[in-house]
């Protein structure tokens, strides 16, 4: 077996292992499916073992593939960290830009980024605005993204193993309803009032699977039906048209963007909270990461981001993952560069 495996082949293995579908993995890597298949065969030949069981309808990891997956994640993380260090010019101070996905203009990320830029004006941040922590994690593992924000508990355990995270905020949730819906007349909507309604939570959008998972936890046992899987919807106008056409209500944050023809109403009895964490690739060292962590401390303290209202609700999975939400930040927070 060779010990100088091309990182491109490792990324191919990781993509197929996570997607368990060659077409989706190829799209994720921006390569042709035939090229991806050739890369997997090359890797299996170089390592002298089968990594996948596959036929025309099914892809699964072999026992050897399962065994080697954690090591491949660590190798890619180390390779990405080396690239960061080599990209840092001697004496350049902050070095390369920090790539941050802030999800949307109304989420927690943009506020932290604005504060970090104010307190550390010499640092350079490159901003992405893709929605969904699940998508962001794939890019972080591949070395194309440094930091994102979202609900960690909804990620697969093997994905969390490649990451570090710290809780920065409990975000209260709301429901978006058409303006002519009976619930639009209420100043806030009790969860019980959603019984027999259909709630859209992005099922079918592979970029936001952590959000759909949260909605499943919230709706189970409450008589609330989740909208069936639906293709990813792009743009406010198309989103509004689709929701009004199907008469779906939308589970979202109280700070969600305005949508034509719909109104936002906070949820209550109990108040559902979603934990928003700062998430970064394990081993990341960058002064911009510390600036974002400092911004989270500042805004969180000033605005009570980690305070839970009486009678609020969180999924058990989130309580297990976030643990005691103190300032145990890990390596990125202690970075003094």
Residues of the chain with pLDDT under 70: 1-3, 30, 81, 83-95, 104-106, 324-337
Question: Is there a domain that residue 154 lies in?
Answer: yes
- In this structure, the answer to whether residues 289 and 153 fall within a common structural domain is yes
Task: Read off the DSSP letter of residue 193.
Answer: G
- Supply the pLDDT for residue 329: 40
- Supply the pLDDT for residue 23: 86
Nearest to 100 by CA among 122, 128, 120, 124: 128
Alpha carbon distance, N-terminus to C-terminus of the chain: 39
Q: What is the pLDDT of residues 140-196, one digit of tens each?
A: 877 788 999 999 999 887 777 778 899 999 999 999 999 999 999 999 999 999 998
Separation between Cα atoms, residue 295 and residue 45, nearest integer Å: 48
Separation between Cα atoms, residue 316 and residue 52, nearest integer Å: 34
Phi-psi domain of 65 (left: phi exceeds 0; alpha: psi -120 through 50; beta: other): alpha
Residue 29 sits in a domain of what CATH number? 1.10.10.10
Question: Is there a domain that residue 328 lies in?
Answer: no
- Supply the pLDDT for residue 106: 62
- Supply the pLDDT for residue 117: 95
Q: Determine the structural domain holding residue 138 and report its residue range.
A: 98-170+274-322
Is residue 254 within 8 A of residue 125, CB to CB? The reply is: no
Cβ-Cβ contacts under 8 Å for 72 (sequence gap 6 or more): 10, 13, 14, 17
- In this structure, the answer to whether residues 111 and 248 fall within a common structural domain is no
- Supply the pLDDT for residue 85: 61
Instruction: Examine the fold and report which residue of 40, 62, 86 is the final residue of a domain before the chain moves on.
Output: 86
DSSP assignment of 286-337 equals -HHHHHHHHHHHHHHHHHTTTPPPTTEE--HHHHHHH-S-SS---TTTT---
- In this structure, the answer to whether residues 251 and 218 fall within a common structural domain is yes
Q: Quote the strand ranges of the chain, DSSP E.
A: 52-54, 59-61, 98-101, 125-128, 147-150, 163-178, 189-190, 198-200, 225-226, 249-253, 262-268, 271-281, 312-313
- In this structure, the answer to whether residues 110 and 252 fall within a common structural domain is no
Number of structural domains found in the chain: 3
- In this structure, the answer to whether residues 20 and 54 fall within a common structural domain is yes
- In this structure, the answer to whether residues 34 and 44 fall within a common structural domain is yes
Phi-psi domain of 324 (left: phi exceeds 0; alpha: psi -120 through 50; beta: other): beta
Residue 123 sits in a domain of what CATH number? 3.40.190.10
- Supply the pLDDT for residue 337: 38
Nearest to 213 by CA among 201, 225, 197: 201
Separation between Cα atoms, residue 332 and residue 283, nearest integer Å: 8
Instruction: Examine the fold and report which residue of 86, 110, 134 is the final residue of a domain before the chain moves on.
Output: 86
């Amino acid at each position: 077996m060779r010990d100088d495996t091309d990182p491109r082949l490792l990324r191919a293995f990781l993509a197929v292992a996570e997607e368990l579908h060659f077409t989706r993995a190829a799209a994720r890597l921006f390569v042709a499916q035939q090229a991806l298949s050739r890369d997997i065969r090359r890797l299996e030949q170089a390592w002298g073992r089968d990594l996948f069981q596959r036929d025309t309808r099914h892809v699964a990891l072999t026992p050897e593939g399962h065994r080697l997956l954690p090591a491949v994640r660590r190798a890619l993380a180390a390779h990405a960290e080396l690239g960061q260090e080599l990209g840092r010019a001697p004496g350049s101070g902050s070095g390369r830009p920090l790539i941050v996905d802030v999800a949307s203009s109304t989420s927690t990320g943009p506020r932290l980024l604005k504060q970090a830029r104010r307190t550390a004006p010499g640092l350079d941040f490159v901003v992405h605005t893709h929605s969904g922590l699940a998508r962001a994690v794939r890019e972080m593992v591949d070395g194309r993204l440094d930091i994102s924000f979202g609900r960690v508990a909804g990620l697969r355990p093997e994905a969390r193993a490649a990451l570090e995270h710290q809780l920065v905020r409990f975000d209260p949730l709301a429901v978006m309803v058409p303006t002519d819906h009976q619930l639009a007349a209420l100043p806030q909507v009790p969860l019980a009032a959603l019984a027999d309604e259909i709630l859209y939570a992005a099922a079918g959008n592979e970029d936001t699977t952590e959000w759909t998972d949260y909605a499943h936890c919230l709706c189970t046992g409450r008589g609330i039906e989740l909208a069936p899987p639906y293709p990813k919807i792009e743009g406010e106008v198309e989103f509004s048209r689709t929701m009004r056409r199907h008469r779906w209500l939308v589970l979202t944050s109280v700070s969600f963007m305005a949508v034509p023809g719909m109104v936002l109403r906070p949820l209550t009895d109990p108040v559902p909270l979603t934990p928003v964490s700062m998430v970064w690739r394990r081993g990341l060292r960058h002064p911009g990461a510390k600036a974002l962590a400092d911004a989270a401390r500042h805004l969180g303290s000033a605005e009570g981001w980690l305070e839970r209202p009486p009678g609020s609700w969180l999924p058990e999975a989130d309580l297990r993952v976030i643990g005691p939400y103190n300032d145990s930040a890990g390596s990125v927070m202690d970075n003094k560069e």
